[in-house]
Amino acid sequence: MANGVRKIVLSGVVLAVLAGGAVAGGNWWREGRFMESTDNAYVQSDITVVSPKVSAYVRDVKAAENQLVRAGDVLAVLDDQDFRAKVAEAQAAVAAQRAALGTLDSKLDLQRTVIDQAAATLASAEAEQRRAQQEYERSRSLANDSWTSRQKLETADADLRKAVAQVAKSRAALAAENEQVNVLHATRTETEAHLAQAEATLRTARIDLENTVVRAPVDGVVGNRGVQVGQYARPGVQLLSLVPLPDVYVVANFKETQLSRMRPGQHVSISVDAFPDRHLEGTVESFAPASGSKFSLLPPENATGNFTKIVQRVPVRIALPRDNALAGLLRPGLSVEAEVDTRGADALPHMPAGGVFGALADKQAVAAR
């Protein structure tokens, strides 16, 4: 009797194991074989490092650590005395060049009057020359008939020569005055160039003055704030960082052997270590153009020394919806586990529509036409 019960129990256990194995095998065949997971994944965000555009001492700090700011909000104020002085100097230079232009315009107006005066002088000289010419012709005719003295003829001849010389002098003076107009125009062009240069210097000085007020370039939360009042700020030196929460995403470092059926647009199940009771849904967005080791500070050189094959990992960017269950709670650097459902990989392109390679293909197609 005991042996019969034992056989029945053992048979039940075997049947249960077989049934469980069949169920597990069926689940693996239907779903499990399509799932690729990794715990080498982290929450990331496009952190903006804020640094000044000009060098000056920090006069005031408006942003506190962990404070939420909007684009355009004042983060810090630099001492602007030197920059205000440069703006005043540039404004004076612009005013001087504009005054010089006004002076040249007045000279041009005056020069036109001088030219009219020189033209009138030339006309008077030419009229005097014609009168002297006529007087000379009469005196010579009368002298030939002995009706006038030789002295009068010589006087008429001298007057004619004097009139001719006066005409030449008046023509030269008119030409000189006309040339002076060209000189004034050239000087005006040069002054306009100096004015444009002074205005550009003024714009630069005003931009530098505006840059003494450091503003937030994007919406975000202040972090890693190292700026203090009295500190000497320089371009390129970090003042603080802005983390654009809740605009975060996940970067999962999958093994190269897991990528064969992974495509953009596939569904991703995400669990965050900090919130183990909540699960998020994401989408595969893109793949890194190289493995993580290629972007390291010292990339491995496999062509030297003893070679040991190591499975490489490729960063995969996973998009999270803005209205996810942990919106506003996720922070860059948190550890997560990501599981990608690769079913239907054959129906999905390796790159999303409008991606880098799609754009290149479009350009090549246009060039081929």
Give the mean model confidence (pLDDT) for residues 356-360: 41
pLDDT category, 310, cuts 50, 70, 90? Answer: confident
Q: For 92-119, write each residue's pLDDT tens digit.
A: 999 999 999 888 888 888 878 888 887 8
Return the number of other C-beta atoms located less than 10 Å from residue 233's C-beta: 21
359 shares a domain with 319: yes
Q: What is the CATH number of the domain that holds 344?
A: 2.40.30.170
Query: Structural domain of residue 57, as residue ranges?
Result: 52-79+216-238
Please give the pLDDT value at position 35: 83
CATH of the domain at 149: 1.10.287
Q: Is residue 263 a part of any domain in this protein?
A: yes
Task: Work out the percent of the chain whose per-residue pLDDT is above 70.
Answer: 78
- Using one digit for the tens of pLDDT, what is the confidence trace for 274-297? 998 888 999 999 999 988 888 887
Residues 283 and 266 in one domain: yes
- Residue 306, SS3? coil
* 40 assigned to some structural domain: yes
Task: Using CB atoms within 10 Å of the CB of residue 252, give its burial: 0 to 12 exposed, 13 to 18 middle, 19+ buried.
Answer: buried
Helices (H) and strands (E) in the chain, counts: 4, 14
Same domain, 191 and 298: no
CA distance 206 to 84: 8
The confidence score (pLDDT) of residue 362 equals: 45
Going by DSSP bridges, is the β-strand pair 335-341/232-233 parallel, antiparallel, or unpaired? Answer: unpaired
The overall average pLDDT reported for the chain is: 82
Out of 14-28, 68-82, 144-158, the most confident range is 68-82
Q: Render the burial of 158-193: b for 16+ CB within 10 Å, e for the rest.
A: ebbeebbebbeebbebbeebeeeeeebeebbeebee
In the predicted model, is pLDDT for residue 29 greater than 90? Answer: no
180 and 228 fall within a common domain:
no
In a domain, 301, yes or no: yes
Task: Say which residues have a Cβ less than 8 Å from residue 60's Cβ, sequence separation at least 6.
Answer: 76, 77, 229
260 with 352, same domain: the answer is: yes
Are residues 195 and 181 located together in one domain of the fold? yes
> Do 174 and 225 fall within a single domain?
no
Q: What is the DSSP annotation of 131-170?
A: HHHHHHHHHHHHHHTTSS-HHHHHHHHHHHHHHHHHHHHH
Are 255 and 183 members of one domain?
A: no
